[in-house]
Amino acid sequence: MSFQVFGLPVSRGIAIGRAVLIASSRVDVAHYFISDAQVDTEIGRLRSARNAVADELSTLQRDLPPEAPPELSALLDVHLMLLHDESLTGATKVWIRERRYNAEWALSAQLEVLARQFDEMDDVYLRERKADLEQVVERLLRAMARAAAAPDAGAPTVGLPATSEDPLVMVANDIAPADMLQFKKSVFSGFVTDLGGRTSHTAIVARSMDIPAVVGAREASRLIRQDDWVIIDGDAGIVIVDPSPEVMAEYRAFRQQRERRRAVLARLRHTPAVTRDGEQVELLANIEMPGDAAAALQAGAAGIGLFRSEFLFMNRDGQLPSEDEQYEAYRTAVEAMHGLPVTIRTVDVGADKALDRMSTNELRHEHVLNPALGLRAIRWSLSEPAMFRAQLRAILRAAAHGPVKLLIPMLAHLSEVRRTLEALARARQQLAEAGRAFGAVEVGAMIEVPAAALVLPAFLRHFDFVSIGTNDLIQYTLAIDRADDSVAHLYDPWHPAVLRLIAQSIEQARSVGRSVSVCGEMAGDPSFTELLLGMGLRSFSMHPSQVVAVKERLLATDTREWARRVESILSAESPERACQAAATLMAAEAAAPRETAVLG
């Protein structure tokens, strides 16, 4: 039976495919695709785990004390029976062979299938046996985890294609940014999560993958079954499960229309980014990994406005990347841009981008009451001086290969500015003393804390440029954790307080001759293009896939006209009125004759 699930649209487009459920478990489960050559190995891991658990259960049963109730031995019999039931281990092997899931993922997938079958049983006793099944699977997962921790355990292979010819979409309760990065090169054409907001890092990485996504869909992972046909409408925030043939045909037609539209926009890639009144605008790209630089060039970006270096630190089991490893990554990106500037942000971890190792005393994300306000970004870097200097040295060394800018996240205090610049000076000194080649870098501050925006003139005396990180600026201005599903609906970039802080920051930076850019999600949202241009912004940084859409808007914009209109939007009393004022002005401009464009 067809039904719909509603959530938040965070990455535009239409995806159609079979559902792949990333199951939640009390045991952390790795999800990755394996190669053909690894199938037998994974089945062997499953078999070994089953044998180990069988030995555990048999030993427990054999060693039961005489006074133990007979029900306990019977329960162990049930667990042994479930363990050897072909509907569990036999079907798990099918997931491994046919979908190329690793053993843990395959076992979790089959647990989802069987758990639903137990839920649908009429007999209460049989229905309650689902808990026994979950306990058996947990034992199997723990046995595989112990085996994987052995010194000779091989590293997983991520992102290899599945053998199924059907397209796949991912469905999960939530996906950590580090896990999203693992799936970046995989076969998923879209994804749905129960949790998340429009600017959670999961959503941001979804846009960076340029695939349709819906987050905050509440019960999606419970309602959708393995292998269900699913349509993800990333424009409307709708997920259609088991669609009728008519609905499927309609959405396939929508998808073809979007592809034709993308082809038309692609023709603008190499058109100069100049407004109707002759203002030159810089359109830059945001990237997560060095390999993303190729997409930036392909999109026609004028450089990298934000290299999120923290993704080099993730999925490493707590081991930080060395200076040389970071240098090679940064150098690769710099050389790939062929002389165009690359802005590298120092590691911004914490909040929803926690590492396995968050400090020298093993501070972990889940132990922090409010990680968005805790030891994150520059605060963490300054608390780990050896790590921070290693990163700074790596960036300085990469600057010998091309133009590099250094961007510091989440500054709020002048004391942090002073300590950061001291660390940079020390890093230069260490390289000079070691005889290592390094280059000059411009140094910039991210304005993403209201305190930084309010004391910006003092900051500007110490920096060459500023970059406004609208995602966090909105979060901290409105006191909303953007990773918290319960308040995600209150996150609103149209809030007058947010718009006024952005306008003020742009004006103050320009007044003293400092370059200013916006690198948050607002930069890549075409509905804000005219307003930001009217505020005086001339540098936007966004995901490569959004460059041509923003360019299309700016090519049709008269910045002089919009400079006169900004105040009417900033003076609005609510987000709704600000958004409506902007929409009214854009509609009026679209309907007006374009003689000025001809005269210009």
Annotated binding site for Mg(2+): 448, 472
Tell me the backbone φ, ψ of residue 369, rounded to 5 degrees: -65, -45
* Per-position DSSP letters for 533-584, written without gaps between them: HHHT--EEEE-GGGHHHHHHHHHT--HHHHHHHHHHHHT-SSHHHHHHHHHH
Angle made by CA atoms 59, 62, 66, in degrees to the nearest 5: 140
d(CA 316, CA 312): 9
Give the whole-angstrom CA distance, residue 409 versus residue 528.
Answer: 23
Residue 264: CB partners within 8 Å, gap ≥ 6? none
Q: What is the C-alpha separation between 303 and 403, in angstroms, rounded?
A: 10
The answer for residues whose C-beta is within 8 angstroms of residue 216's C-beta and 6 or more apart is 7, 8, 193, 194, 195, 196, 197, 485, 488
Burial class (CB in 10 A: 0-12, 13-18, 19+), 27: middle
Specify which residues 407 forms β-bridges with.
345, 444
Per the annotation, binding residues are 308, 345, 448, 471-472, 482
Residue 359 and residue 444: Cα distance in Å, rounded?
Answer: 25
Task: Indicate if 519 belongs to the active site.
Answer: yes
Reported as type and span, the H/E element at residue 344 is strand 342-345
541 pairs with which residues across the strands?
Answer: 284
Question: What does the buried/exposed string (b/e) look like for 544-578 if buried means 16 or more CB atoms within 10 Å of the residue's CB?
Answer: bbbbbbbbebbbebbbebbeebbeebbebeebeeb
Spatial distance between the Cα atoms of 368 and 370, rounded to a whole number of angstroms: 6
Binding site for phosphoenolpyruvate: what residues are annotated? 308, 345, 471-472, 482
Q: Which letter does DSSP use for residue 156 in this model?
A: P
Contact 305, 284 (CB under 8 A): yes
Determine which one of 201, 401, 495, 543 is catalytic. 201
Catalytic residue among 31, 401, 495, 519: 519
Tell me the longest C-alpha to C-alpha distance in the chain: 99
Q: What is the DSSP letter of 373?
A: G
For helices 70-84 and 130-148, give the axis angle rounded to 10 degrees.
Answer: 70
List, by residue number, the catalytic residues.
201, 519
